[in-house]
């Protein structure tokens, strides 16, 4: 039976959920969860996207992903493939770790972003130790929203959600906390919208944090021309020059930008600029790693 086409919109946040196969615990300990968060951070930097909320449970993950123009499938494929390789290597096993494709739903109504955020942050409520204190679960972004934890791995954008509740930063966290608690046992959509209406701000905002969208429509030629201009390269077609190490780093920057801001694969890039040498791929991946680890 063919797969159902996934509904995607690179300009809207998505609620993403992925689960381990039935016989596997996705995160066997805290270090596994930390590793997954670190990988989320690496791929957020690589694809220039951000996270609005997350919660890592033992068998599944909830992510409120703001793609900011990127392809969420490429983000999630890279993230989960990298984690599966880590997991199999660490626990000396083979085979799949995740249960099929990740699930995702486009969030194209502002109020739904608030509902999804509260739902994700309430996820630990079924754990006996956290039923009445979900904000203390350290592998959820909720504690960071409330200022109880400060290690967000550089992935989290809290301003977009919090800015919906108050113009006063001193009261925003309290109002948001009350909102999440109020949504704890509410399932009816109409009730959820009533709660949102009672908690969100009616004030006139002088400033509201906006999400930033990176439009990834630059042609490969435009990328190459821009790199040549920025680095004062006299030969516009430097990308075609072979056996000249003086332009290798500029080639790598061009290819890195095509992968980061155009979502091109190496195969796509080869079609545009010619075959890549193994050395150049190593340079690009080295650039990726040094950039991602900043």
Say whether pLDDT at 208 is over 80: no
Sort strands 103-106 and 50-56 into parallel, antiparallel or unpaired.
unpaired
Integer Rg of the chain from CA: 22
Q: Which long-range CB contacts under 8 A does 231-240 form with residues at least 24 apart?
A: 239/273, 239/274, 240/273, 240/274
User: What's the pLDDT score for residue 26?
Assistant: 97
CA 289 to chain centre: 17
Which is nearest to 86 in space by CA: 28, 32, 40?
32
- Overall average pLDDT of the 50-76 stretch: 94
Token pair recorded at residue 76: 């999630």
Task: Name the DSSP letter for residue 12.
Answer: S
Cα(238)–Cα(291) distance, rounded to whole angstroms? 23
Taking the alpha carbons at both ends of the chain, their separation in whole angstroms is: 44
- 289 has pLDDT over 50: no
Alpha-carbon torsion 225, 220, 210, 117, what sign? negative
Q: What is the token pair recorded at 31?
A: 């270090």
Angstrom distances, CA of residue 64 to CA of 13, 48, 55, 90, 250: 7, 15, 9, 28, 35
Residue-averaged pLDDT of the chain? 81
Average pLDDT over residues 250-263: 75
pLDDT digits 0-9 by tens, 115-153? 999 999 999 999 999 989 999 999 999 999 999 988 888
The tens digit of pLDDT for each residue in 148-191 reads 988 888 899 999 999 888 888 778 999 999 999 988 765 555 55
User: What are the tens digits of pLDDT across the range 261-281?
Assistant: 766 777 777 776 766 665 455
How many other C-beta atoms are found inside a 10 Å radius of the C-beta of residue 281?
Answer: 14
Tokens of 294: 């900043």
Note the pLDDT tens digit of each residue in 225-249: 888 888 888 776 777 667 666 777 7
Whole-prediction pTM: 0.78
Query: Do 93 and 151 touch, CB atoms closer than 8 A?
Result: no
pLDDT for 1 equals 39
pLDDT for residue 147: 92
- Residue at token pair 């209406």: 197
């Amino acid at each position: 039976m063919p797969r159902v086409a996934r509904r995607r919109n690179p300009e809207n946040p998505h609620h993403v959920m992925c689960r381990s196969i039935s016989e596997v615990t996705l995160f066997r300990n805290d270090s596994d969860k930390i590793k997954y968060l670190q990988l989320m951070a690496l791929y957020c930097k690589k694809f220039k996207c951000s996270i609005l909320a997350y919660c890592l449970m033992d068998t599944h993950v909830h992510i409120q992903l703001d793609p900011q123009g990127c392809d969420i499938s490429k983000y999630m494929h890279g993230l989960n493939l990298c984690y599966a390789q880590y997991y199999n290597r660490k626990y000396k096993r083979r085979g799949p770790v995740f249960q099929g494709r990740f699930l995702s739903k486009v969030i194209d109504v502002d109020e739904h972003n608030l509902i999804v955020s509260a739902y994700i942050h309430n996820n630990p409520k079924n754990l006996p130790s956290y039923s009445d204190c979900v904000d203390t679960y350290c592998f959820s972004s909720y504690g960071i929203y409330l200022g109880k934890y400060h290690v967000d791995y550089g992935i989290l954008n809290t301003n977009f959600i919090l800015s919906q509740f108050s113009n006063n930063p001193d009261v925003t966290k309290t109002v948001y906390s009350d909102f999440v608690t109020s949504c704890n046992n509410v399932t009816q959509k109409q009730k959820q919208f009533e709660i949102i209406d009672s908690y969100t701000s009616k004030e006139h905002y002088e400033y509201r944090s906006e999400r930033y969208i990176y439009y990834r429509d630059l042609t490969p030629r435009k990328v190459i021309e821009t790199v040549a201009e920025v680095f004062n390269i006299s030969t516009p077609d430097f990308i075609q020059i072979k056996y000249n190490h003086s332009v290798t780093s500029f080639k790598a920057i061009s290819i890195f930008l095509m992968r980061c801001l155009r979502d091109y694969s190496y195969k796509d890039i080869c079609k545009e600029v010619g075959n890549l040498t193994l050395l150049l791929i190593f340079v690009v991946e080295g650039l990726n790693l040094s950039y991602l680890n900043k």
